[in-house]
Amino acid sequence: MVPSLPWAFAGDLLVIHFRADPKALAALLPAPLKQADDSGEVFLWTPHLRCYPESLDPANMGPARTHYNVCVIGVPCLLNGTRTMYSAFQWGDRDWLVALSWFLGACSKFATIEQSGLHPLMPGGGQTAVLGSRLRRTVSRHGEKLVDINFSPQHTSPSSAMDFYTRHLPLTCERHFPDCDVPPRGRPLVHDLTQMVMTDTVFGDVLHGPATLKFFEADNEELMPIQPREVYGGYWMPMGFRLHGVRVIHDYLS
C-alpha cells in the first residue's frame, strides 16, 4: 500500500497565520510539550503535493499515487525548552496517505479537499495562485464542511520572510496505536512523539496577502474551541524536500 522511504516531495503550501484562544491551544498539547507563550499564535497549511518513492519510476506509478492534498493545523510550542510545532489536526485525501501518516505519527483522517481554480485561457486567469487572483479552499469529511479558506495574494517576498513560520519547525507529531489485544495488555502498542527526517529542503518566492479562515461544527471533530479570533494573513509558499522517515524524540512507553 505504501512503498518504502525515502520519497521526494514538491508543491505549494497555502499557509494561514491566525490567532485563537490560548487556553484552547494549550489544552491540545500533550506533555512534555508546553505552550511557548500566551499569544494564541497558530498555523494552518494545506498544500497540493507531488511525490514519488525514489525506489520507483514515477512513469510506472498510477497517477493517483503521485500527488495528494493535505491540511494540517500546527500549534507552536516548546519541547524541553526548544521551539517546535505540534501537529494537532491533520487530514488527507488518499487512503495510502492516511496509512503513511499513521506510520509517521501524523495520524490523519480521510477528507475531501477542494480548491477553486481558473484556466490559463481565462482572461487574467491562471491555474495557481498569482498576484491579484482569488483562491478558495475547503476541507470536508462525510459531507460535513470542516474548514473554509479564502486567500488573495497581493505581494511577493523571498522565502526568508517566512521565518515567523519556519522557526517553529520541525513539526512534532504524536504517534499512537491503541491496544487491540484480547485480553488487553493495558497499554498502547505504540505511543511516542516523532519528528520527520528531511533533507534537500528548498523554498521558492512567497506570495502573500489577506485571507479568511473559518471552522465548522462536525461529527468527531474538535475545531470549534480554536475558531480563529484574528487572521494575520495568507501565504503561498513553494517547497520541495526529501523525506527519509522519522526519529522518535519522546517515548511514552519507555
- Residue 59 has phi, psi (to 5 degrees) of -65, -20
User: Cis bond leading into 22, ω under 30°?
Assistant: no
Residues 6+ apart with CB under 8 A from 243: 5, 6, 7, 8, 9, 196, 197, 198
Grade residue 125 by pLDDT with cuts at 50, 70 and 90. low
Task: Give the mean pLDDT of the chain.
Answer: 93
* pLDDT tens readout for residues 144-172: 999 999 999 999 999 999 999 999 999 99
Domains, the chain, with CATH or none: 7-251 (2.40.400.10)
What is the per-residue pLDDT for 3?
Answer: 87
